[in-house]
Amino acid sequence: MPEGDTIYRAARTLHRALAGGVVERFESGFPSLNRVHVDTPLTGRTIESVAAAGKHLLMHFSGGLILRTHMRMNGSWHLYRPGEPWQRPRGAMRVLVGTRDFVAVGFDVPIAEFIAAARLARHTQLRQLGPDLLGETFDEEEALRRMREQGASPIADVLVNQRVVAGIGNVYKSEVLFACRVAPSARTVDLDEETLRRLLATARRLLRVNVSPGRPPMTTYGGLRRTTGRDNPRDRLWVYGRAGKPCRRCGTPISLRKEGPSARLTYWCPKCQ
């Protein structure tokens, strides 16, 4: 599943390319989106902005209309010049928004809907999101309050609960817990406030580092997120994807556990954590 940094970069790239442009072409595999387009056409509207809200991507159009997409496991946004060959088959196209200069294509997007701007604040999924780690402002106190409400829940589950704090997925969950030397099975209620604050600060720092300027400006995903700070791509992560390999700190083999109906992956070092 794309994590908060992936969605943030995609939104930033789409905003750079599309904001201020007039929609000249709209297509969708979603009947509900097509009905809106027939009743109140997207063509002729100006794309005002594209922004991320946790793992949701919001494309704002003139006339008070917003396109919300969520990538789930396999969705992605691609950006092309008109006439440029697509990297994915046309059958995977679920949403297409084109301007004079660019064509944005959402492939395998499982969730897409139009929302009236006036109703955005009341949207159920968006309203329930916890503080966004990549937001311009971050309400740490509210995030702490929501974490404490989780009681005996394992901290690994709490970190990926988007209603507690938005933006963390399996990769950052494992990397943050390792960086803070916290066992993924630790009960949240047993962790002191200093540890909870350190987890939030570390998550925010790692996410922000991986969306820092300098990546290709027209690439929706720059690839290879890093948490170790090392230049070698093979050394870019501390524990994620390294089951059975030696811990980069102590040499102990990294452990792996799959949890829940979605088989969420958690990697950790039994000795360091």
Burial (0-12, 13-18, 19+ Cβ within 10 Å), 203: buried
31 is catalytic: no
271 is catalytic: no
Tell me the C-alpha to C-alpha distance, in Å, between residue 84 and each of 80, 81, 235: 6, 5, 35
Of 148, 197, 248, 264, the active-site residue reads 264
User: Do 42 and 16 form a contact (C-beta atoms < 8 A)?
Assistant: no
Of 12, 45, 55, 242, the active-site residue reads 55
Of 3, 9, 68, 131, the active-site residue reads 3
193 is catalytic: no
Query: What is the C-alpha separation between 62 and 40, in angstroms, rounded?
Result: 12
258 is catalytic: no
Please list, in sequence order, all residues whose beta carbon lies within 8 angstroms of the beta carbon of residue 104, skipping any fewer than 6 positions away.
14, 17, 18, 77, 78, 79, 96, 97, 98
User: Do 164 and 153 form a contact (C-beta atoms < 8 A)?
Assistant: no
User: Do 15 and 211 form a contact (C-beta atoms < 8 A)?
Assistant: no
Q: Looking at the annotation, which residues are catalytic?
A: 2-3, 55, 264
